[in-house]
A = this chain, B = another copy of it.
Amino acid sequence: MLSINSSKVSAQQNERKVRIAKIEIYPAYLDEYRAALATHAKTAVQVETGVLALQAVYDKSHPTQVTVFEVYASEAAYQDHLKTPHFLKYKSGTLKMVKSLELIEVAPIAMEIKPELTGNTKQ
């Protein structure tokens, strides 16, 4: 049973879509953009089964540079995410604030997270 369960977990993990989004924001919209992104990330992870994590940070030395570390359960979960009202609202609402956006498909090497880090929203 243990090996069967392990295989299931491993298959689920292999199906995951992990991505880094590098976003540059126009300086005039820094606060407004951060608020919109924070709200969007909170809603998406709370509401969508397939959005496993959205971690967003800004560079302290270059605050217009934002990085989002995204984990979806699968490509299908990500495609569903793109159709949600909260994503469409975030996307259209922040369009004028975003100077550039680069999406990088990545694969995990390690995904070590203490349980206490979950549910700690800075809202």
Residues of B close to A46: CB separation below 8 A: 112
A118 within 8 A of B: yes
**Among candidates B67, B109, B119, residue contacting A58 with C-beta atoms closer than 8 Å:** B109
**Among candidates B52, B114, B120, residue contacting A13 with C-beta atoms closer than 8 Å:** B120
- Assuming the contacts A71-B117, A105-B61, A119-B115, asked whether A110 and B13 have C-beta atoms less than 8 A apart, the reply is no
**CB-based contact A41/B110 at 8 Å:** yes
**Among candidates B10, B18, B41, B104, residue contacting A112 with C-beta atoms closer than 8 Å:** B41
Residues of B close to A38: CB separation below 8 A: 109-110
Interface 0/1 of A21-39, CB less than 8 Å to B: 0000000000000100110
A97 within 8 A of B: no
Residues of B close to A111: CB separation below 8 A: 55-56, 117, 120-122
- Hey, which bits of chain A sit against chain B, CB under 8 A? 9-10, 13, 18, 20, 34, 37-38, 40-42, 44-46, 51-61, 66-67, 69, 71, 104-122
